[in-house]
Structure 1
């Protein structure tokens, strides 16, 4: 280390440790990029007697619209999941764009009361090919007389 008079002196152990930790912090802060969050919580609501799976209204997309890649409904048994239904939109099929809050169409109707399910949705922003996001939410239903009376969704 250079002193006020311009000569060199040895650093003490405490100064070396501080210098190393400062250097490591500088390298971490300046050279490492954090990965974007890719897993998000889907919204599940009841509209009439149908479930509505959607992206939250607060979803910050660049264009306000995203392309739907897939939607799946899974049944959970303990730590295992079993896919019950899936719809995937890949070329050459036309792109299906959705907006936050818009119900995503699905055709699975064999829901049972008090059974744990998960909905899994994959999207990509048409303006950013690296923006693939995965949305999911666990839920169960209360069904009486063939009508869904309540959606019990996991916490966000």
Structure 2
């Protein structure tokens, strides 16, 4: 399908929407564009830090854990933003305008995983680590339950 046909189809679908649905669609498109700008800026910043901050300066030391922590933390930030943008785009394509809870749980899991990666265990107390582990376990259980219920709904339909 060509871009013209896709734009025409999108315009026809947009005309069928109610006023509030058009408003929601417009807001989601603006948020998607803003997140795309943030992702591009984050990738640019990450590229500059890796290229100039680590490679060209000669400070890329494979045994330096803090450098890898910082780089992987920045990469996870970009992944979280992309997942957030994806969940907004999925929302515009659905008939109902409810954000899927699975996407929200996935974003939360990614954010906590990012926190664990950048966490300095030498300076973190045991309660903080336990709280992060409990949050990961709880979100994992919620994600599993949601996925399981979605599969049951798909099988009955």
Query: Which interval holds the TM-score relative to the shorter structure?
Result: under 0.3
* TM value normalised by structure 2: 0.22
More strand by share: 1
* TM value normalised by structure 1: 0.23
Higher Rg: 1
More helix by share: 2
